[in-house]
Structure 1
Amino acid sequence: MRERSDDNRPRRSVQQPYGFLSYGRTPHVPESDRPPDELLRHFHAKLTGDLMELTDLDAKIPAVYLDERMPLGTLWEDELKGHLARCQVLVPLLSQRLFSSDWCALEWQCFELRQELQRERGTFTRNAIVPVLWNPLRPEEIPPPYRDVQYTHQAFGTAYADMGLRGLLKYGRHATFTKVVYQLALKIVEVAVSARLEPCEPGDFDHLFDSLKRSTGEEH
């Protein structure tokens, strides 16, 4: 059967993974019997499973990239740049730790750069960033540029707005958590298909990485 030529039709993905999960790391607390970011991994696994069911992505490549390693050298930096250059949707988990993270700000800047390159080519359609309310936050607590992108959705319900996704999971609202994550997966697919964010060269990010390392004194 001949494929339709309608530009608005869903099309087979050519970029993998679908999403890039941006989050502020939680430090390990020696007195705690739980590893840091345990709930984050649970969310990542559920979101990955839903996206695999909703798309044609290859199971050998994660549907959502999650960087759990600390910066440890050039190979790590090259891998990070590669994923930032190819992932279709940025998924920042809104929290105070994300807002205070220079590396999370860098990840946002990299996606903004890709979108600006697409604007210059005249092929930009929509923002390819889907924020997630990870912890409960008042609107005034969310700084720009994060608050400039829609992060609450009426269909997700008031419990999500009041507790954040982490709160739903932490306090046993599993049915609501499961529903919201599935709705997020649908939103990510919709944005990926309609935004069609084109990949760029990882080297396009070199100046952003170099600027961050100069400002923080970090070497990798």
Structure 2
Amino acid sequence: MLEDPRRGEPRSSVQQPYGFLSYGRTPHVPESDRPPDDRLIRFHSKLTDDLMELTDLDAKIPAVYLDRRIPLGSAWEDELKRRLARCQVLVPVLSRRLFTSEWCALEWECFQRRQQLHRERGTFTRNAIVPVLWNPLRPDEIPRPYSDLQYTHQDFGDDYPTVGLLGLQTHGRHKTFNKVVYQLAQKIVEVAVSARLEPCDPSVFDDLFDSLNGSAGEEH
């Protein structure tokens, strides 16, 4: 009988969903035949497939949550709070649109508050944020707090930090794109298992949502 290689080690499926993809929406361009965020959706699909292969996640729950709806009120906000309260890893997709998005800033603040609660309980082990470089960006173009994170992943090869995931797709570097996404999935699993970020009550985010709703806001 083969020995279970995971015996004595933490199970991979710490919580579901594994990740929360935070991204700045691309507006629809009437002159273009390509649906908005088409390439990002392709990335999300590949990342989901890889995470399902690497873990024992239930297919009924998304491996990585991707919100594709425009905010429509309290029901949508309640779902967003629940996802942020239970996801294991925040995956911000670094781009100029993310840096100017109020909703992405809100998602970051919610996740950081949850990590702070983890610190206060004395069980915090590591930062559970895995950034993804989407556009080619110079270091001075990446604002804090995103610039404080390791986002180039030098072990992913030279092309990824140079052109980002969007560039790999645009230039037809599909083999390299698939390899980098798989490595990102491995990194997300590693962080999820080692961080073991505990869930929180979604109501701890209420004041952050109230603050954003009190401003002019934007379409996420």
Bin the TM-score by the shorter chain: over 0.9
Q: 1:36 to 1:123 in 2, by over 3 A?
A: same
What is the rounded CA distance, in whole Å, between the counterparts of 1:213 and 1:44 in structure 2? Answer: 28
What is the rounded CA distance, in whole Å, between the counterparts of 2:78 and 2:28 in structure 1? Answer: 26
Q: 1:215 is paired with a residue of what secondary structure?
A: coil
What is the rounded CA distance, in whole Å, between the counterparts of 2:13 and 2:172 in structure 1? Answer: 35
Q: 1:180 maps to what in 2?
A: 180
Q: 1:91 is paired with a residue of what secondary structure?
A: strand
The list of structure 1 runs, each at least 4 consecutive aligned residues, that deviate by more than 6 angstroms after superposition, is none
Q: Structure 1 length normalisation: TM-score? A: 0.94
Matched, 1:215 2:206: no
Compute the displacement of 1:216 (Å).
Answer: 2.6
Compute the displacement of 1:215 (Å).
Answer: 2.8
Q: What do the CA deviations read for 1:21-79 (whole angstroms, capped 9, x no partner)?
A: 00000000001010110001100000000000000100111100000000001110000
Q: Structure 2 length normalisation: TM-score? A: 0.94
What is the rounded CA distance, in whole Å, between the counterparts of 1:95 and 1:195 in structure 2? Answer: 26
Alignment of 1:85-164 (within 5 A): 85-164=85-164
Q: What do the CA deviations read for 1:5-33 (whole angstroms, capped 9, x no partner)?
A: 96xx3325242110100000000000101
Any gaps of 5 or more consecutive residues in structure 1?
none
The answer on whether the counterparts of 2:85 and 2:199 sit within 8 Å (CA) in structure 1 is yes
Q: 2:41 maps to what in 1?
A: 41
Q: 2:193 maps to what in 1?
A: 193
* Matched residue type, 2:213: K
Q: What do the CA deviations read for 1:117-173 (whole angstroms, capped 9, x no partner)?
A: 000000000000000000000000000000111101111111101100011011100
What is the rounded CA distance, in whole Å, between the counterparts of 2:7 and 2:161 in structure 1? Answer: 39
